[in-house]
Amino acid sequence: MIVLKLLIYRLIRAMVLLWIVSLMIFTLIRLAPGDPVDYILGANDLAIGDTGTIELQKKQVRKNLGLDVTATQQYLNWIKRLALFDLGNSYRSGKSIVSELADRLPATLYLAGAAFLVQVSIALGFGIIASLNEDRWADHLIRLIGVLFVALPSFLLGLILLEIFAIRYPVYDMIGQVSFKRMWLPALTLGVLTSPPVMRLIRVNLIREYSRQYIVFGRSKGLGKKRLVGIHALGNGLLPILSVFGVNLAGLFSGSVIIESIFVLPGIGRYAVESIFARDYPAITGYVLLITFIVILLNLFVGLSYAFIDPRVRNTGYITK
């Protein structure tokens, strides 16, 4: 019952949030300098004719794109279409935004999912080792590695790994369909680079857990280190990190633009950047709505997982407050 209540509450909140985001993005992109019509007509690389003809051309293109009415009218038209799950058509390709995003989503989902696994594996592994070796050389070394990963720009690590695995020892396919052969290297790059903050958080949480009475009690009862750390300390220590995982996963969806560009992945991040440069309003709005939806979904999932994992939450419905 509590979970159902939580679901309904989150769903209503999600709808309101999506509407606010849609209004904000619709307004903001129109306030940004630059006109999509200029982009479309400027792309022919020729300044020819006279300003009168160009103005007529612009008028025609503006009409074709539905930009010849007031911003309010444009928003109302857009909302009407949105109610039918139609995000409009791209100014550049003329293709429906839903189908363009659907074409590009698999690459991003694959990348974000795989990178998340890499991130969690590295963070858990190094986090546990560092916590068990607090202030010893292993802890310092892991901290140093973490600092290095944080300081390394993603494009640099990406290019270095490409140089090694695509050119010197050609085991990575730079071209081809979205598959494990194409995704392992970008996922590794993204996962490695985003792991340090989580790694540090796991270390700190575990160290805090080790000093708790139930661990001291377990140790005095003769429980093994593996059981104490792997089940008891980790189980309790990971609870506060769940929400961080949720936020991180959302970040991986929206923040993999550079990785997608370097590794030639047709994902939504690259699509968003290209759309922003071209002032492709429907594409930008569609992308932002999709990312907002993913973030809402992930937060909902994290909230629900709290309810399932922690009996205190399940019984009190704390998370809905």
Which of 1, 4, 83, 175 touches another protein by CB under 8 A? 175
x/- mask, another protein, residues 116-155, rule CB under 8 A, reads ----------------------------------------
Across-strand partners of 89?
96
Query: Can you say how many angstroms the Cα of residue 300 is from the centroid of all Cα atoms in its chain?
Result: 15
Q: Does 49 bind another protein (CB under 8 A)?
A: yes
Q: Which is nearer to another protein, 237 or 286 (CB)?
A: 286
Half-sphere exposure of 280 (CA within 13 A, CB side): 26
CA distance 255 to 100: 19
Which of 228, 270, 288, 298 touches another protein by CB under 8 A? 270
Q: How many CB atoms sit inside 10 A of residue 171's CB?
A: 11
CA distance 55 to 316: 64
Q: Which is nearer to another protein, 35 or 310 (CB)?
A: 35
Q: Does 92 bind another protein (CB under 8 A)?
A: yes
Which of 6, 21, 25, 61 touches another protein by CB under 8 A? 61
Q: Does 51 bind another protein (CB under 8 A)?
A: yes
If DSSP codes are grouped into helix, strand and coil, which group holds residue 264? coil
Considering only the stretches 145-153, 181-189, 270-278, 303-311, report the one whose residues sit in contact with another protein under the rule CB under 8 A. Answer: 270-278
Interaxial angle between packed helices 281-309 and 2-31, expressed in degrees from 0 to 180 and rounded to the nearest 10 = 160
Q: How far is the CB of 166 from another protein (least distance, A)?
A: 4
Q: Alpha helices, DSSP H only, in 222-280?
A: 225-227, 234-238, 242-254, 257-262, 268-278
CA distance 278 to 259: 21
Contact (CB, 8 A) for 253 and 294: yes
Q: How far is the CB of 261 from another protein (least distance, A)?
A: 4
Q: Where do contacts with another protein occur on this chain (CB under 8 A)?
A: 32-35, 38-54, 56-57, 60-61, 64, 91-95, 100, 103-104, 159, 162-163, 166-167, 170, 173-175, 261-264, 266, 270-271, 274, 277, 279
